Amino acid sequence: MRTRDGATGLPLQTGALPWRVSDGRGLEVLLVTSRRSSRWLIPKGWPMLGKTLAAAAAQEAYEEAGVRGRIDPQPLGSFRHRKQHEILGAMEVSILVHGLAVEQELPVWPEIGQRDRQWLSLEAAAAKVESVALAGFMTEFGARVSSGQR
């Protein structure tokens, strides 16, 4: 199980970029709030024993955002994120992101009441997240989808 980013040596987290194409609204992504700071971000978490990074990302999307769908086994890319760890304090991590084509949005999910979730256009989502790297990553994802790549 990978726990460090091979390129940066930073602790590794895995994340999902849940997305859908809506009639009249086009491409949208789903953001969630963090539990402690209520910052908007993508569902993410630590690698899970016995799961691929993609499967762990899909599990995080279910737990944090209440969505299920097709997870891309190939990561879209990665970005650095500064987080507040319960025990270790402030730390920088590398988040490896997998696209998740959402097929089901659940009315009840494990972390309901702990987080908010919101569907947004890529432009609105990029403006809402604090991470400049994540905002750029979403813009790049939109260009990939527009050109037929995922």
pLDDT in tens, 59-73: 999 999 999 999 999
pLDDT score at 2 = 67
pLDDT in tens, 14-57: 999 999 998 888 899 999 999 888 889 999 999 999 999 999 99
- CB 97, CB 56: distance < 8 Å: no
Determine if the pTM surpasses 0.75.
yes
| Spatial distance between the Cα atoms of 136 and 149, rounded to a whole number of angstroms | 17
pLDDT in tens, 104-127: 999 999 999 999 999 999 999 999
Identify the structural domains of the chain with CATH numbers, from first to last: 12-146 (3.90.79.10)
Residue 6 has pLDDT above 80, yes or no: no
Mean per-residue pLDDT, 87-99: 83
- CB 12, CB 2: distance < 8 Å: yes
Residue 84 has pLDDT above 90, yes or no: no
Number of helices followed by number of strands (H, E) in the chain = 3, 8
